[in-house]
Chain A
Amino acid sequence: MTQPGPAVPLAQGSEPPGSSTPTRRGTELAMLAFAAGLVTGALMLVEVNQEQQLTMRLVYYGLAYLVLFAGAHVAVRKWAPYADPLILPCVALLNGIGLVMIYRIDLALAERYEDRWADAAPKQVLWTAIALAMFVMVLKFLPDHRTLSRYAYMFGLAGLILLALPGMLPASLSEVNGAKIWLRLGIFSIQPGEFAKILLMVFFAAFLVSKRDLFTVAGRRVLGIDLPRARDMGPILFAWGICVAIMVFEKDLGTALLFFGVVLALLYVATERFIWVGVGLVLFAGGSFVAYQLFSHVQGRVESWLDPFGNYTEGGFQLAQALFGFGTGGMFGTGLGSGRPEMLLFQANSDFITAAIGEELGFIGLTALLLVYMLLAMRGLRSAVAVRDSFGKLLGGGLSFTLTMQIFLVIGGVTTLIPLTGITAPFLSAGGSSLLANYVLVALLLRISDAARRPQAAAKPKPVAQAPIAEAHTVMVERPS
């Protein structure tokens, strides 16, 4: 009994014998085809209701859509075969409906403004193509999401620079419609904040994974609540300061709110201590109060939120029109192509696209789209729960939470549940940067879900690899005579 027995080859028992994990790519393809059918149907309805000829344009948009998502599907099949089967179809449906609505709003606005309106739909199709190319690149060149955590501090720095850049630049280069969040690069402009969002999330996830023990240290106990130590408040105060700076220098409530919300969510997920959310909410309340007292643009937003009809001429106009739209749409909507989205002016296809959809598809249609968003976020969160490394868990949770928070801010703003913050609905709204950033986000989610669902075969080669070494050792000990 003194000699240890030879190492027994370990059976990887993570899979029940006889059944292999299905990749479910077939389901994905079927759902994608369903989404494509829905989008083509929507486009046809718009054409018929707008009494357009069924022209070649319809074929052009439909084919572009099919080719793009078939390409994305092939890329997923190749580079992330075990990824979640629902994420891509949900995104495809949202993006497709968004494209149809943007095209439909183009028709309406072209009628109202004649030559002064430049069509947004061809541009959006182009951006979709670029975004999907980016999506494929992320899947191809990032075989393991854990690689990202190695460059966390670099990503954090790059994110901060991108976030600060529009605020630092002169207004001529960065200001569009009162918000200094753009980089105007000649022919096209981008919103660097959208990319900063993802970069900073990668940084924060990696940071929390390595330092999370610090945040669980309890400080003084007041009224039965364990307050965190004062010095551990540094990171959250830092994030809060950045958000306030965005609000002051870039006049962008949406990004500030989104960023702070994501930081809070990650902190809560990492530490499981509700006190951090409490601290964050207190900071948020303080920040909002001060911002309301100091800045006129915040006051304007709040006033048109409280009474959009009373402030109809001073900024409440679009909100009031959005509410009229929801009212006109009612339960079943006016039907695609039969509403009047031109009343929402030039933001009908960006911040207010959900109002246009609410008018034409009604409560029932908008609810279905919200459910698609919910499914998307749910699959993301599930992947985050199932993935085995803490960095992946935090990143996946954070990415899913961003989607949810964004849609909450958009819909809440348009329906006057909360003040309007001017943020784009992911995948629906017109806007290249938002689309590009959100496709990168989805590619990361697919990467994480692929890691979560991939069977663990050969995941731990260590004990198996030792058997031959041990045997070789015994052979060497034998003395040749």
Chain B
Amino acid sequence: MQLTRAGFLALLWLFVLAALRVVRSDLYAAAGLRVSVPGFRKSAEKKSRGKAPRQLVVTHGALAGTRISLDGRPIMIGRADDSTLVLDDDFASTRHARISLRGTDWYVEDLGSTNGTFLDRAKVTAPLRVPLGVPIRIGKTVIELRS
């Protein structure tokens, strides 16, 4: 009798522990939130230094998560339908900015937008070289180049 009583309580707790295990295994699984392991990411960034950028990633804004692979052709950003990256943002102009390849480096230039383009904190007035991983802000959207 005592055995069954203790046994049932043990099973009840086993259920809780099993559930917690599921929670733990779920922690790093994709679930909307991307949990990145800090050590892993750092080494990835270190490795990328000195490499040529291969893709453009939208990190913030409505299009966050979007990637465009860079193939040497210029990238047009704006609200115009024929832009490479079409922004649906009140703060973006129709033809807002262009990111283009000159030599081996990528340059960002503002195409006379109303609210401006920012490379990190600085306003883009003339074509500026875009280093890897430096954020470019356009309205509510933030993009950066990655290898």
User: What separation, in Å, do the CA atoms of A34 and B18 have in the docked complex?
Assistant: 9
Instruction: Given A1-B100, A5-B74, A31-B19, decide whether A364 and B32 contact each other with a Cβ distance below 8 A.
Output: no
Contact of B16 among A368, A453, A460, A463 (CB under 8 A): A368
Instruction: Given A462-B86, A466-B86, decide whether A1 and B74 contact each other with a Cβ distance below 8 A.
Output: yes
- Note all chain B residues with C-beta closer than 8 A to A463: 63, 66, 85-86
Which residue, of B4, B22, B23, B81, has the highest number of chain A Cβ atoms within 10 A? B22
Closest Cβ neighbor of A49 among chain B residues: B1
Is A361's CB under 8 angstroms from B12's CB?
A: yes
- Note all chain A residues with C-beta closer than 8 A to B33: 385-386
User: What separation, in Å, do the CA atoms of A11 and B58 have in the docked complex?
Assistant: 12
Q: Does A333 contact B (CB under 8 A)?
A: yes
- Note all chain B residues with C-beta closer than 8 A to A11: 55, 67-69
**Which residues, 15 to 57 on A, are CB-close (under 8 Å) to B?**
15-16, 19, 21-22, 24, 27, 31, 34-35, 37-38, 41-42, 45, 48-49
Nearest Cβ on chain A to B29's Cβ, whole angstroms: 7
- Note all chain A residues with C-beta closer than 8 A to B23: 86, 375, 378-379
Is A365's CB under 8 angstroms from B9's CB?
A: yes
**Which residues, 321 to 375 on A, are CB-close (under 8 Å) to B?**
332-333, 335-336, 361-362, 364-365, 368-369, 371-372, 375
Is B12's CB under 8 angstroms from A7's CB?
A: no
- Note all chain B residues with C-beta closer than 8 A to A24: 22, 26, 29
Is B12's CB under 8 angstroms from A8's CB?
A: no
Closest Cβ neighbor of A15 among chain B residues: B30
Categorize the interface residue count of chain A: 35 or more
Is A38's CB under 8 angstroms from B15's CB?
A: yes
Contact of A453 among B12, B31, B100 (CB under 8 A): B31
Is B15's CB under 8 angstroms from A34's CB?
A: yes
Is A332's CB under 8 angstroms from B5's CB?
A: yes
- Note all chain A residues with C-beta closer than 8 A to B32: 385-388, 452-453
Q: Does B48 contact A (CB under 8 A)?
A: no
Q: Does B103 contact A (CB under 8 A)?
A: no
| A interface secondary structure, majority | helix
Which residue, of B4, B18, B31, has the highest number of chain A Cβ atoms within 10 A? B31
Is B5's CB under 8 angstroms from A333's CB?
A: yes
- Note all chain A residues with C-beta closer than 8 A to B22: 24, 27, 31, 85-86
User: What separation, in Å, do the CA atoms of A49 and B8 have in the docked complex?
Assistant: 13
Contact of A368 among B9, B71, B84 (CB under 8 A): B9
Is A372's CB under 8 angstroms from B1's CB?
A: no
Closest Cβ neighbor of A19 among chain B residues: B30
- Number of A-B residue pairs, CB cutoff 8 Å, is 143
User: What separation, in Å, do the CA atoms of A154 and B71 have in the docked complex?
Assistant: 52
Q: Does B37 contact A (CB under 8 A)?
A: no
- Note all chain A residues with C-beta closer than 8 A to B31: 21, 382, 386, 452-453
User: What separation, in Å, do the CA atoms of A6 and B85 have in the docked complex?
Assistant: 11
Is B9's CB under 8 angstroms from A13's CB?
A: no
Q: Does A14 contact B (CB under 8 A)?
A: yes
- Note all chain B residues with C-beta closer than 8 A to A31: 15, 18-19, 22
Nearest Cβ on chain B to A167's Cβ, whole angstroms: 40
- Note all chain B residues with C-beta closer than 8 A to A382: 31
User: What separation, in Å, do the CA atoms of A438 and B9 have in the docked complex?
Assistant: 26
- Note all chain A residues with C-beta closer than 8 A to B8: 38, 41-42, 45, 336, 361, 365
Is A8's CB under 8 angstroms from B68's CB?
A: yes
Q: Does B126 contact A (CB under 8 A)?
A: no
User: What separation, in Å, do the CA atoms of A460 and B68 have in the docked complex?
Assistant: 14
Nearest Cβ on chain B to A236's Cβ, whole angstroms: 30
**Which residues, 249 to 295 on A, are CB-close (under 8 Å) to B?**
none
Q: Give 1 or 0 for each of B62-97: 1 = CB within 8 Å of chain A CB.
A: 010111110101111000011111101000000000
Is B5's CB under 8 angstroms from A35's CB?
A: no
Q: Does B11 contact A (CB under 8 A)?
A: yes
- Note all chain A residues with C-beta closer than 8 A to B81: 466, 469-470
Is B76's CB under 8 angstroms from A4's CB?
A: yes
Contact of B11 among A1, A41, A369, A385 (CB under 8 A): A41
- Note all chain A residues with C-beta closer than 8 A to B63: 460, 463
Chosen A-B contacts, 7 in total, with CB atoms closer than 8 Å, are: A8-B68, A8-B84, A21-B30, A21-B31, A85-B22, A375-B19, A470-B82
Q: State the B residues within 8 Å of A (CB).
A: 1, 4-6, 8-9, 11-16, 18-20, 22-23, 26, 29-33, 55, 57, 63, 65-69, 71, 73-76, 81-86, 88, 100
Excluding A7-B83, A463-B86, 7 further A-B contacts by CB distance (< 8 Å) are A8-B84, A13-B66, A27-B22, A45-B4, A365-B12, A460-B66, A470-B81
List 7 A-B pairs, minimum CB-CB distance, nearest first: A386-B32, A13-B67, A5-B73, A335-B5, A4-B76, A368-B12, A14-B65
